[in-house]
Structure 1
Amino acid sequence: MKLFLGRALLVAALLVFVAPRPASAATNSFRGVNWADARDNYVDGWVIPTGLTASDSYATVRTKADGIVSGFQTLLGANTVRLPINPQSVNSAWWNAYKGTVDSALAHGMRVILSYWEANHDGFVDDTAAWNTMWDTVVAGYGSNANVYFEPMNEPFGYSLNDWVNLCSGWLSRHSTVPRGRVLISGTGYNDNVTGVGASPALSGTLLSLHFYGFWASYTTRAAWTANLTPRIGAYASRTVIDEAGAPMTTGLTYTGGQNQDGNVFTSYFAATTDYTRSQQMGVVYWPGLRSGDTYSLTRQNGSGLAVNNATGVAQLRWGWGL
């Protein structure tokens, strides 16, 4: 009996020492860019990302998107595109054409994040019934596709934490067939802090989305920007995707260079952000990958494809992606 117990204890001890630890969760598989409307995505009407026109058919949208999405992949190394939606776009004839952007990205093996942008720019869902109809249509069309992710609302700054959690809980209940791991819950305010939504039991299992920008402060060191960013994420880095972060790409700034990144608001900000996401294995979806008239735009249209606006900005973003 003593011999049997001794062997059992030895086996148990060996299991403790040799059993592999589970891999840590991470979101760095999201290497993305936003494709945005030149008017910004807060529009009371159809959202029409740069390069498209309201008269485009599905076939035309698909052809144009093929060139743009291919550019995101080959020039940047992106595997994710974030696209805006609103009820005016989805609950109308435009949706039949606009779906060409989603279908193109999926055909290229990309992930797609579909995010609701409200029209009034007051931080609230404009019309709950229309919002529900929109999401019913979108989920019916793409809910079964594992490469499509859903962000119930962009920048819900009108809501208190409790009201925002309640709204998202209702979304999750209404669309319970969508795995929670394919839903990005925006941080409170301007998506600027995920600790509240991260701590909510009602939102367990979801991803979280954070926005972080260099025009929010005037720091000129990476250390100061890192200190600003860290408490916005708290203990939830493994669930968080920064799905908006960007800096001027058409003003001649150099974003690579180690110590030389300090001394300027935007180079230090972008270095700190990408250093942090790399170290924490977090995903980044840059704002914007393409948007005409936006100095932050990482690319510009070039024939049927794209051209890069700032090679050092691309290099620093790829560093943040872990590439």
Structure 2
Amino acid sequence: MTWSARTARRLLAGTAALTCCATLAAAPGAQATGASPAATTGSAVLDPASFKGVNWADPRDNYVDGPVVPTGLSTSDDYRTTYRKATAVLGELVRIGRINTVRLPVNPYSVGTAWWGSYRAAVDAATDLHLKVILSYWEGTAHKDGLVDDPVSWDTMWATLTGTYQRNPKVLFEPMNEPFGYSDTDLRALEARWIADHPLIPRHRVVVSGTGYNDHTSTQCADPALAGTYVSQHFYGFWHQGPSYAQWRENLQGRIAGCEGRLIVDEFGSPMTAGYDYTASATGTTDAERKEYVAYLQATTDLIRETGAGGVYWPGLRAADSYSLTTLDPVGRRISLSLNSTSGLKLLEWAWGRGTRPPHPAP
């Protein structure tokens, strides 16, 4: 699926008014650097701020009726070759961004099939590099309705994944990406059933998605049946047009209220190949699109840091995606990545809790 199609699918997620939840908004110039303490639920301590990472995505945007194949991998490769390539790609992402987390797509076409014999090498390579891995289910393109395509195949896929990695504490499981086809009540019931069906997986290794396009998480955080899990929020600049820094903060705060200590923003992104200076003033340009995206990314990264949330950028690597933090530069058998935006990376590092001075001027 092209980026424009992805955008069209998600525009509905941004219909909430930007003026909502005004009482939750911080002052426009606020630049707090403290992080919320880790949340304790039962015997497990949740530490969302420890997730500092990126998505590694299929050029087709992970919505495929077939195996998902992250950029740089190939279904024609065996386990050993896939492991070598994955180690190189992930090693480059660690070198460039010092990430400790990668989010990978999964679907039934990729698990329990011939490709799984090779694709699991990407997961193994990540954990061998001491990275956390979030395995997230993406539906196919046949329906594109925000629902699990085939519950039987979905259950079988998760049985394979949890059986393979239940003893590996670095692997986490996200039952469904962007479940916009479910009502809030039905989604929480689906997530609660997933937890009940996998009793050997500790709750602190489960990431439940927010309602819609992962665009609101408050009800998940308030549901006792989902207690002890991490909660996934998505947030994008193309959901609205023209908001200021303060309005972006206000909008995101209204979506995540009550989720302090549990939240991982495991998709957020902005153009990295357009030459935008994300460390400059968001109001210092007459270019409306540049102004919007600079304000969006500054507000989002500030709020991730201030609330102690995890931050997993979309994407760290995806071919032909203007949001991609890096570009793949294969030379023969050698794989290397180049950084697309130095200023964009500075904001991500700020979100991840690095540094003591904000990388952009106060709004």
User: Is the structural similarity TM-score above 0.5?
Assistant: yes
Structure-to-structure mapping, 1:82-97, within 5 angstroms: 82-97=103-118
Asked whether the 8 Å contact 2:37–2:261 carries over to 1, the reply is no
Distance 2:172 2:299 in 1: 27
- Is residue 294 from structure 1 mapped to residue 325 from structure 2 by the alignment? no
Report the equivalent of 1:214: 237
Report the equivalent of 1:231: 254
CA distance 1:261–1:91, change in 2 (3 Å) = farther
Report the equivalent of 1:242: 265
Distance 1:301 1:23 in 2: 37
Secondary structure, in 3 states, of the residue corresponding to 1:41? coil
Map Cα deviations across residues 276-301 of structure 1 (whole Å, 9 max, x no partner): 01111111100000000000000011
Question: What is the CA distance between 1:165 and its match in structure 2?
Answer: 1.1
Distance 2:97 2:284 in 1: 21
Higher relative contact order (CA 8 A, sep 6+): 2
Q: Which amino acid aligns with 1:236?
A: C
- Is residue 183 from structure 1 mapped to residue 206 from structure 2 by the alignment? yes
Question: What is the CA distance between 1:259 and its match in structure 2?
Answer: 5.7
Asked whether the 8 Å contact 1:106–1:147 carries over to 2, the reply is yes
Distance 1:23 1:226 in 2: 20
Q: Which amino acid aligns with 1:276?
A: L
- 4+ runs deviating over 4 angstroms: 258-263
Report the equivalent of 1:160: 183
Report the equivalent of 2:50: 29
- Is residue 316 from structure 1 mapped to residue 347 from structure 2 by the alignment? yes
Question: What is the CA distance between 1:53 and its match in structure 2?
Answer: 1.2
Distance 2:129 2:277 in 1: 31
Report the equivalent of 1:6: none
Report the equivalent of 1:277: 304
Report the equivalent of 1:8: none
Question: What is the CA distance between 1:24 and its match in structure 2?
Answer: 4.0
Question: What is the CA distance between 1:302 and its match in structure 2?
Answer: 2.0
CA distance 1:297–1:225, change in 2 (3 Å) = same
Question: What is the CA distance between 1:196 and its match in structure 2?
Answer: 1.1
Question: What is the CA distance between 1:305 and its match in structure 2?
Answer: 1.8
Report the equivalent of 2:42: none
Q: How many correspondences in the alignment? A: 302
Map Cα deviations across residues 110-138 of structure 1 (whole Å, 9 max, x no partner): 00000000013210000000000000000
* Partner of residue 173 from structure 1, selected from 179, 193, 196: 196
Asked whether the 8 Å contact 2:135–2:174 carries over to 1, the reply is yes
Secondary structure, in 3 states, of the residue corresponding to 1:278? helix
Greater Cα radius of gyration, structure 1 or 2: 1
Asked whether the 8 Å contact 1:29–1:283 carries over to 2, the reply is yes
Unaligned regions of 5+ residues in structure 2, if any? 1-35, 40-46, 355-363
Asked whether the 8 Å contact 2:49–2:352 carries over to 1, the reply is yes
Question: What is the CA distance between 1:257 and its match in structure 2?
Answer: 2.8
Distance 1:265 1:52 in 2: 34
Q: Which amino acid aligns with 2:48?
A: T
* Partner of residue 150 from structure 1, selected from 146, 169, 173: 173
Distance 1:141 1:67 in 2: 23
Distance 2:249 2:328 in 1: 33
- Is residue 203 from structure 1 mapped to residue 242 from structure 2 by the alignment? no
Report the equivalent of 1:56: 77
Question: What is the CA distance between 1:23 and its match in structure 2?
Answer: 5.0
Report the equivalent of 2:217: 194
Asked whether the 8 Å contact 1:70–1:305 carries over to 2, the reply is no
Report the equivalent of 1:130: 153
* Partner of residue 71 from structure 1, selected from 87, 92, 98: 92
Percent sequence identity over matched residues? 48
CA distance 1:224–1:261, change in 2 (3 Å) = farther
Asked whether the 8 Å contact 2:243–2:292 carries over to 1, the reply is yes
Q: Which amino acid aligns with 1:170?
A: R
Report the equivalent of 1:41: 62
Asked whether the 8 Å contact 1:219–1:225 carries over to 2, the reply is no
Secondary structure, in 3 states, of the residue corresponding to 1:272? helix
Unaligned regions of 5+ residues in structure 1, if any? 1-21
